[in-house]
Amino acid sequence: MQRLKFITVKSAKAIGFSVLHLLCVLVILLGLPGAKSVRVVNSLKTLVIDAGHGGVDPGCNGANEITEKQVTLGVALKLGKILADSMPEIKVVFTRTSDKTLKLSERPELANKNSADLFISIHCNANNNVSAAGSETYFMGLHKSEGNLEVAKRENSAITFESDYQDNVRYGGFDPNSPEGHIIFSLVQNAFMKQSLKLASGIENHTGKLSPIKSRGVKQAGFLVLWQTSMPSVLVETGFLTNSSDRKVLKTEEGQRKIAIGIYRAIRDYKIGLEASK
Ligand SMILES: [Zn+2]
């Protein structure tokens, strides 16, 4: 009897905690900028392709042979062309089609404004260790290793090109150099985790088969550019510009085309999967 009573009190406490926990999650969810409601995405009609960096922000440097902003634009435009030829039913929106400066927040804003069903951000990796090589595709979440955190911090630091980033509300006072800034802020993206993971896996599978750049797999970290999107979204680190073998692929039209075909095939499979599960 005593034991039963104990269990009942404990259960009641647990239920109370769960309700409180749920309420907190809801309050946080509704408070997130640009993410007032979580919608169901079960088709692929509109896709936003985001060529990372651009204009005053060159991204990482490939031994003065090429910059990240050039590679990302090359892959983005090639991917758009393949999609226009092979899947014209998909409306493709580019965040940029030239060497243009964009605020980091403008990229997810464009996707949200167009009610996009998918957001793909294209980047290149960099590391002090020049032997680090390979591609990685990220979806939003808590980093599982310091390496993932470093990648997110480097990409998030693009906001430091925005002179007013520290006192504006776009990023909630986010400081890319603060470790506390990288706590989990992915509650809305959690709703799309399965779909984002599926696409990320497809991208790594297909690009790994087609391109000489080896796949390092699918990873999670807190990227500002993904955080504010209200649809499935991934960030592709196509390869390391600091590695000579990867760079050789990334700087050529042919190398960029192979990566673009790999991403295209992943999109095609993802769309077929979505339609089959309806
Ligand atoms: Zn980047």
Q: Which residue has the tokens 């009573």?
A: 5
The pTM (predicted TM-score) of the whole model is 0.83
CB 158 within 8 A of CB 230: no
* Residue 265 CA, distance from chain mean position: 18
Q: Find where tokens 């640009």 sit.
A: 34
Q: Measure 100 CA to ligand 1 centroid, in angstroms.
A: 15
**140 pLDDT tier (thresholds 50, 70, 90):** confident
What's the 157 CA to ligand 1 centre distance in angstroms?
9
Going by pLDDT thresholds of 50, 70 and 90, the confidence category of residue 187 is low
Cα–ligand 1 centroid distance for 151 (angstroms): 9
Nearest to 224 by CA among 38, 33, 71: 33
pLDDT at 76: 98
pLDDT above 90 as % of the chain: 60
Instruction: Dump pLDDT digits (tens) for 93-109.
Output: 999 999 999 999 999 99
Ligand 1 center–CA 125 separation, angstroms: 7
Residue-averaged pLDDT of the chain: 84
Provide DSSP, 34-52: T-SSPPP----SEEEEEE-
Closest CA to 203 of 185, 181, 218, 192: 218
Ligand 1 centroid to Cα of residue 123, in Å, is 4
Please tell me whether residue 147 adopts helix, strand or coil conformation: helix
| Cα 215 to ligand 1 centroid, rounded to whole Å | 17
Question: SS3 helix, strand, coil % of the chain, rounded to 5?
Answer: 50, 15, 35
Least confidently predicted of 42-56, 58-72, 139-153, 204-218 = 139-153
Ligand 1 centroid to Cα of residue 115, in Å, is 24
Residue 83 CB partners (closer than 8 Å, separation 6+): 47, 90, 92, 264, 267
223 CA → ligand 1 middle, Å: 10
3-state secondary structure of 94: strand
Distance 54 CA to ligand 1 centre (A): 10
Q: What pLDDT score does 218 carry?
A: 97
Query: What is the CATH architecture of 41-276?
Result: 3-Layer(aba) Sandwich (3.40)
Between the CA of 31 and the centroid of ligand 1 the distance, in Å, is: 27
* Cα 270 to ligand 1 centroid, rounded to whole Å: 24
Distance between Cα 1 and ligand 1 center (Å): 62
- 155 CA distance to ligand 1 centroid (A)? 5
